[in-house]
Amino acid sequence: MLNFLTLIGRVVLGFVGHIGRLVIFAGTALSHCVRPPFYPRLIASQMVDIGYYSLPVVGLTAIFSGMVLALQSYTGFARFSAESAVANVVVLSMTRELGPVLAGLMVAGRIGASMAAEIGTMRVTEQIDALTTLSTNPFKYLVVPRLIAGLTMLPLLVLVADIIGVFGGFLVGVYKIGFNPGNYINSTVDFLEPLDVISGLVKAAVFGFLIALMGCYNGYYSKGGAQGVGAATTNAVVSASILILTFNYIITELFFAT
């Protein structure tokens, strides 16, 4: 019994310690975001990596989501006054929820993992120590470019995902169900409020930051060779995905729950 309590205590302490270290890590990284030197080359290359090279994955996810939304909402509950209802469901679901969440989860798998693996390998092969001895701050050189790129690129990706998703819904609506194209587009635009899009983009920025943060944090503190880097990679993806779903709820509540 005592052993069991000790075990629980250790797990709780470990968890609290983890959170504390993460908060300090995030604070340090943010403070370096606003102090020179900056590395525009590295920021740009991270932006290309996160923004441009994620487009195919995010685009495919978005188009099929938009298509299936149209199909489901038509067969499910909108056979009467169908056109406006289907368009409405598709555009609201995409911009508010599915765009940011699906893009976030896909990018977490793609980018969070590669960040953790790269920084983790640099840690266990002493490359991060080498940066310090060459008068280069690892936070500024490694972490800040990734955070900035994550924060700025995810909203752009989500904007693209929104458009592609709505287009997917349009395809199904017009060519499969047989709606009038003009009416469908009108209904889409009529129902859309700026806040729907804006809330999605705010979510995307937060998700992008979280993905980069978890990738960098897990990589930065990885230890113990190849196995440690593997564990860091897994932790980065899992923790980023959980945080994305958690913050998705919190931000939705902040925007729409009044």
Partner 1 sequence: MSAVPKIRLRDVHKAFGEKRVLNGVTLDIPAGQSVVVIGGSGTGKSVLIKSILGILLADSGAIEIDGQNVTDIPAAQRGAVNKKFGMLFQGAALFDSLPVWENVAFGLIQGEHMDRTEARERAIKTLGRVGLAPEVGELSPAELSGGMQKRVGLARAIAGDPEIVFFDEPTTGLDPIMADVINDLIVACVKDKGITTVSITHDMQSARKIGDRIAMLYEGKLIWIGDAKDVDKAANPYVDQFVHGRAEGPIKMQVRK
Single residue of 1, 2, 5, 134 touching partner 1 by CB under 8 A:
134
What's the distance, CA 179 to chain centroid? 34
Give the amino acid at 7: L
d(CA 178, CA 196): 27
> Does residue number 133 form part of the binding site for partner 1 (CB under 8 A)?
yes
Single residue of 23, 44, 130, 242 touching partner 1 by CB under 8 A:
130
Which residues in 139-158 contact partner 1 (CB under 8 A)? 141
| Residues 60-99 as x/- pattern, contact with partner 1 by CB under 8 A | ----------------------------------------
Single residue of 129, 190, 193, 253 touching partner 1 by CB under 8 A:
129
Q: Which residue has the tokens 């940066």?
A: 131
> Does residue number 127 form part of the binding site for partner 1 (CB under 8 A)?
yes
Is the Cβ of residue 122 or residue 164 nearer to partner 1 in the bound state? 122
Is the Cβ of residue 124 or residue 160 nearer to partner 1 in the bound state? 124
Do residues 209 and 150 touch, judged by C-beta distance below 8 A?
A: yes
d(CA 69, CA 161): 14
Is the Cβ of residue 84 or residue 136 nearer to partner 1 in the bound state? 136
Do residues 75 and 129 touch, judged by C-beta distance below 8 A?
A: no
Q: What are phi and psi of 31, to 5 degrees?
A: -65, -30
* Peptide bond before residue 37 is cis, with ω within 30 degrees of 0: yes
Single residue of 84, 114, 137, 186 touching partner 1 by CB under 8 A:
137
| Residues 8-47 as x/- pattern, contact with partner 1 by CB under 8 A | -----------------------------x----------
Side-chain half-sphere of 203: how many Cα atoms within 13 Å? 34
d(CA 90, CA 78): 12
List contacts with partner 1 (CB under 8 A): 37, 118, 122, 125-127, 129-130, 132-137, 141
